[in-house]
Copies of this chain bind each other. A is one copy, B any other.
Amino acid sequence: MRAFREWFEDYQKNHRFQVVPRGLDQLDGWHFQEDSGNLVHRSGRFFSIVGLDVRTNFGHVHHWMQPIINQPEIGILGFLTRRIDGILHFLIQAKMEPGNVNGAQISPTVQATHSNYTMAHGGKRVPYLNWFLDSTSAKCLVDQFQSEQGARFLAKRNRNMIVQVHDDEPIDILDGFFWLTLGQLFALLEEDNLVNMDSRTVLSCIRFAESDLGEVSAEEKGDSASFGVDVLESLRCGDRFGLHDFNALTAWLTRMKTTYSLRIQRAPLNRVAGWVFDNGVIRHHQNRFFTVIGVEVAIDNREVGGWHQPLIESAKGGVICFLCQKHRGILHFLVQARVEPGNFDCLEMAPTIQLTPSNYDANNPERLPPFTNLLLDIEGVVRRYDAVQSEEGGRFYQDQNRYLVLELEPGRPIPLPANYVWMTIRQMKEFIRFNNFFNIEARGLLSCLCPKLPAPRGRAV
């Protein structure tokens, strides 16, 4: 890892990265459309900021309007992998994104919107992309659609990919790229703001072959303090060890989709009630939720050297938390069925807690989502994962959330609202094979459990 750290520090030092705020009405290439007021690029590509009218019976607020990112094209988030000395390595990229709090973060080998790889911006060709486009040249380990933030994107999905080239295939390592083992990549997930959101979602799609999961010794098994062993057991246990079998979970999800409604309608951005264009930004009139800002970007290693673009700046202090608890001796995670306006199919499964406290009215604490009190409860709660992670820096400005996994002592009764259910990790992984079941916050947090697995750490299958 020392080689990686030195390389990464050098990279950060040697690359220019500058982001300067600029009014949305002052962005080169972007303008507000005449009639709708939607914020669009003159090419008609990349993404646009549009208005949305939202009606739902989920939660406390049943009708609102908001700006949302519309990016209907499907991009690629992909890791190139190769076996080196018998061990599968992932080609990571140190990638600077305008919204990053700290310059470069670890990104997949390829992180390309459709505009990117068809070169709508007339820049450089995306390196290594061909391995992902030509399905015959490399072995495809993962290729799934997965959703992105439903509160910010309108039905956005990306292809999450991992491809493996032949052991003998010569791969040029370009500036900004580095080989890491999966174990190293997992270990780096323990650190703040280092493994970017796109990496986390791709890593969450990895399934482990039984042979790749470490054997658990008898002592380890007896060691009740080993959270890693519990994670492993929850990952490989058969369906019958779950509190609910998979059938029952599917039925629960169908009931939830029938119970909750989501009706959205596009609206002109200049007619979005409650939001104002003011001083070059679009903000909520109470300064809550998020603000659409403009930035001027100079990053020296991207396809183009500089550009202007809108970014979303969310309210600070977000928390994304899974509660887990042993049931019948197996670790279960408390999953929430959650409606978000941009969801492809009404609701997706989400972490137990997903909130930004400042978005809630301090005078109405009873409106806080369920289980929020457990964030303050130190009795009988063990903090299993606690790190600050960044959301996608290409669209979000310095957006960090605290990612938490809290374990409750076994036997402590937790009354569940109807839209919460306990699942094993194996069951969650089963849903993740199919698109639009688990949201990106849940998938990202789930990938943070991987470093907890006992060695040897798995390889992708």
Contact = CB atoms under 8 A, between A and B. Distances in A.
Q: Number of copies of this chain in the oligomer?
A: 2
Interface residues of A, number: 25
A375 B250 CA distance: 38
A145 B257 contact: yes
B433 A143 contact: no
B248 A140 contact: yes
Interface in A324-351: 344-345
Interface string A246-275: 111011001101100000000000000000
A248 B207 CA distance: 13
Contacts of A248: 140
Contacts of A142: 247, 251
A436 to B, nearest CB: 8
Given A250-B433, A433-B250, A74 B143 contact: no
A143 B207 contact: no
Interface in A414-438: 433-434, 437
A257 B76 CA distance: 13
B258 A461 contact: no
Interface in A145-159: 145, 159
A373 interface: no
A144 interface: yes
A141 interface: yes
Nearest to A245: B461
A77 to B, nearest CB: 12
Contacts of A141: 247
A14 interface: no
Given A247-B207, A247-B461, A255 B434 contact: no
8 contacts: A143-B254, A143-B255, A144-B250, A144-B254, A145-B254, A246-B433, A247-B461, A434-B434
Given A74-B257, A143-B250, A143-B255, 10 more contacts: A141-B247, A142-B247, A143-B251, A143-B254, A144-B251, A144-B254, A246-B433, A247-B461, A250-B433, A434-B434
Pairs A-B, 8 closest by C-beta atoms: A143-B251, A143-B254, A140-B251, A434-B434, A144-B254, A145-B254, A159-B254, A135-B255
